[in-house]
Amino acid sequence: MQTLITGGSGFIGSHLATLLFEETDDDIILFDDFSTGRSSNVSHLTDHNRVELIEGDVIDKETITPLVQQSDRVFHLAAAVGVQRIVDKPLRSMRTNLIGTENVLDAAVDDQTPVFIASSSELYGKAEAVPFAESDDRVLGPTSSLRWSYASAKAVDESLALAYYRDHDLPVAVGRYFNIVGPRQTGQYGMVIPRFVEQALENKPLTVYGDGTQTRSFTHVTEAVKATYELLTTPEAHGEVINVGAPEATSIKELAERIINLTESNSEITYIPYEEVYSEDFEDPQQREPDVSKLESVLGWHPTTDLDRILNDIIEEQTTVTAST
Ligand code: UDP
């Protein structure tokens, strides 16, 4: 069996590759444009002849099509990550989502190759009635706030996936990821936890945007990739959009305080008004929390947050990286 992971040397992709390497006999192709992916994320795997890392762009149909066609299943994770990167490069980010996803789905049709499509809780936008269920309406902000370009493109990806399922019987499962976190995530383009951990370890102020009352539900990447793998291999998930996350929500202020405590840091918290965050029309969802009943009914389990475990894993990684540089 050959498995293709687009975005395979990225944060989530590298953890999924590790799971596949350890739990299956698959030959694994990791496809990545290295925009945020790093070969070092998968260097523990690429020494083995079962794993091949290929540089390329999902927008390039001639490159991605044969790779999909020679694979028996595809996890399509390639996407721009981080609100800051999306705001900086909206066109690039949208083209990856729109053209890349269409290329992957189109190439999968002839052999009915199962495809997992990574979507995002960003699609719930500014909805307020938590927890968010898949059947809920989506509430995106104005087009002028380019943050929402990502959610708009991912919304098209979801509709495309369901259209391929309907029109071509393509076995496709869509997972809406809720703030997946863990080792190897870069804080370069937003991503609150790696940023706060780095700030705390350097005894610098933790930069809380707004008043810190906004909430997120953080999910350990190891649980997210387990759910990802199971969704693609569970026929009841095909043709479905399913939340992938842990139901417990934490405010960003509480998150900052926990990180300061766990790292025994001298850092203070500094509150940055939204107008002064990197984009003048920055908008921030106030609440985000998944309804996991659909995931539970399909897989028989759902991720559970142990925030201290997540934070300790990231602190340990960053301490090791700092110590070795
Ligand atoms: N955030 C923050 N300080 C930072 C980075 C992020 O307070 O340095 C906040 C951000 O405003 C949001 C939350 O942390 O409310 C999660 O941000 P992230 O970019 O990690 O993910 P999002 O859920 O917004 O996509």
Interval 268-281: pLDDT, tens: 999 999 988 877 67
At 125, is the secondary structure helix, strand, or coil? Answer: strand
How does pLDDT run across 287-312, given as a tens digit for each residue? 999 999 999 999 999 999 899 999 99
pLDDT score for 214: 97
Quote the distance between the C-alpha of residue 64 and its chain's center: 21
Task: Classify the complex by whether its ipTM is higher than 0.90, answering yes or no.
Answer: yes
Is residue 177 part of the annotated active site? The answer reads no
pTM score, two decimals?
Answer: 0.97
Cα 214 to middle of ligand 1, angstroms: 9
CB of 209 within 6 A of ligand 1: the answer is: yes
Q: How far is the CA of 10 from the centre of ligand 1 (A)?
A: 19
pLDDT band at 20 (very low <50, low <70, confident <90, very high): very high
Give the residue from 135, 136, 140, 137 showing the smallest Cα distance to 125.
140
Residue whose pair of structure tokens reads 């002849």 in the numeric block: 49
Residue type, 281: D
What does each C-alpha distance from 11 to 79, 92, 226, 230, 274 come to in angstroms?
11, 19, 14, 19, 27
Instruction: Please give the sequence-ordered ranges of beta strands (E in DSSP) within the chain, or none if there are none.
Output: 2-6, 27-32, 51-55, 73-76, 115-120, 172-177, 180-181, 206-209, 215-216, 219-220, 240-244, 250-251, 269-272
Residue nearest to atom 10 of ligand 1 (CA): 209
* pLDDT attached to residue 188: 84
Top-tier CATH class for 2-178+221-246+290-304 = alpha beta
Indicate if the pLDDT at residue 257 is higher than 90: yes
* Chain centroid to CA 176: 9
Strands (E), 2-101: 2-6, 27-32, 51-55, 73-76
Question: What's the gap in Å between 36 CA and the centre of ligand 1?
Answer: 18
Cβ 16 vs Cβ 5: under 8 Å: yes
Residue whose Cα lies nearest atom 21 of ligand 1: it is 191
Cα–Cα dist 70/113, whole Å? 10
179 Cβ inside 6 Å of ligand 1: yes
CA of 285 to the centre of ligand 1 (A): 9
Cα separation, 303 vs 13, in Å, equals: 18
Beta strand pairing call for 269-272 and 219-220: unpaired
Fill in the DSSP letter of residue 96.
I
The pick from 209, 275, 278 for probing ligand 1's pocket by mutation, whose C-beta has the most ligand atoms within 8 angstroms, reads 209
Task: Return phi, psi of residue 256, to 5°.
Answer: -60, -45
Please answer whether residues 310 and 224 qualify as being in contact, where contact means their C-beta atoms are separated by less than 8 angstroms.
no
Question: Measured between alpha carbons, how far is residue 160 from residues 19, 89, 104, 300, 322 in Å?
Answer: 28, 23, 11, 27, 43
DSSP string of 20-47, one letter each residue: HHHH---EEEEEE--SS--GGGGHHHHT
Q: Does ligand 1 have an atom closer than 6 angstroms to the CB of 83? A: yes
Atom 16 of ligand 1, nearest CA residue: 192
Please work out whether the CB of residue 252 comes within 6 Å of at least one atom of ligand 1.
yes
Higher-pLDDT residue of 305, 143: 143
Ligand 1 centroid to residue 84 C-alpha, Å: 10
Alpha-carbon distance of 46 to 158, in angstroms, equals: 31
Q: Is the pLDDT of residue 150 over 80?
A: yes
Q: For the chain, which residues make up each domain, given as ranges?
A: 2-178+221-246+290-304
From the candidates 124, 150, 164, 177, give the one annotated as an active-site residue: 150
Is the shortest distance between the CB of 147 and ligand 1 below 6 Å? Answer: no
Point out the least confidently predicted range of 20-29, 70-79, 93-102, 186-195. 186-195
Q: Which residues are registered as beta bridge partners of 240?
A: 173
| C-beta separation of 293 from 241 below 8 A | no
